[in-house]
Amino acid sequence: MQYAVMAISEDLNILIDAVEVSALDNYAQKEDEVKVCPLEDDVQQLKVVYGVFMPQPDSKKETIIKQVKESVGYIISHIELEEESCKIVDMELVDIELYEQYGEGTYNPRGQYIPFAALIRTNCTIPQLKQRAITSFLRYGNMGALTNVLNRFGIFSIRDEERRIRKKVTVEGWKEFIDESRVIKILNTPK
């Protein structure tokens, strides 16, 4: 299982990825050693991706939907942990389409996860559905990346890319490439 709820204090639990737990264990006391890999301006590749937004426990759905929509145009980041290093890799959330109408399912028992299709600007390789998801989060500029993990409102779990596109993806036309059946499939795939 890639995700779990971790108790931070008696009254605070957070949703966290297994890699993030290792990063916190190894780098929490030396956050200045975490390398930040900012998204360079010359990266212009747009990708249509599918995923599930996973809010922190006990979040209100209406608040979460608002926060996700307000994240458009900002940097989302994920942690890459290697044998001797930890780095934060940035991507831009250019646009997002939420499918909150798809509620409860086998892997969404309380209907708290929100499937999405998104347009991101990145040079990262996006995993295929059966591989480990990219656990990204809205990057707060006023705190270290690992501190950000403990204070985020949820996770953008990026699980697959639309690879059947044969035309140029644009900000104006990206939604024509969304396959809604894949949105549902993503929601019903365990992570």
Q: Hey, where are the domains in the chain?
A: 3-187
Over its C-alpha atoms, the chain yields an Rg (Å, rounded) of 16
Name which of 190, 87, 78 is nearest 131 in CA terms: 190
Pairwise pLDDT comparison (178 vs 61), residue with the higher score: 178
pLDDT tens digits along 114-125: 999 999 999 999
Answering whether pTM is above 0.85, one says yes
CB neighbours (10 Å) of residue 166? 5
pLDDT tens digits along 79-109: 999 888 999 999 999 999 999 877 666 666 6
Residue-wise over 143-160: b if at least 16 C-beta within 10 A, else e?
ebbbebbbebebbbbbbb
Average pLDDT, integer, range 148-168: 95
Greatest Cα pair distance in the chain? 51
Q: In this predicted structure, what is the pLDDT of residue 106?
A: 60
Average pLDDT, integer, range 60-69: 94
Mean pLDDT of the chain: 91
Q: In this predicted structure, what is the pLDDT of residue 134?
A: 96
